[in-house]
Amino acid sequence: MSSRRGVLELPPVVGRFVDGVGTFYADDSDTGRPVRCRFIWSGVTPTSCRWEQAFSTDGERTWETNWIMEFARTG
């Protein structure tokens, strides 16, 4: 979602949760080169979860994880 334009961005992220782990994919590009994006939600509890982002430039043979966030509810 673009907060500047107020519209959903393309391409969409597509995936699902299986056994408590959500895996979602999208196609993108980096300086004109196609990139496959993967987003994983795991360790989901009422008070915490983990999210990670990875990119593949070789047709999903290898992935480079470049961002991990761990969330915790406060208060």
| pLDDT score for 35 | 94
Q: Which residue has the tokens 């959903």?
A: 8
Measured CA to CA, the distance from residue 75 to residue 73 in angstroms comes to: 7
The 3-class SS string of 23-34 reads EEEEEEEECCEE
To the nearest 10°, report the CA torsion of 1, 44, 66, 32.
-30
pLDDT band at 14 (very low <50, low <70, confident <90, very high): very high
> How much of the chain exceeds pLDDT 90, in percent?
75
What are the residues whose beta carbons fall under 8 Å from the beta carbon of 32, sequence distance 6 or more?
Answer: none
pTM exceeding 0.75: yes
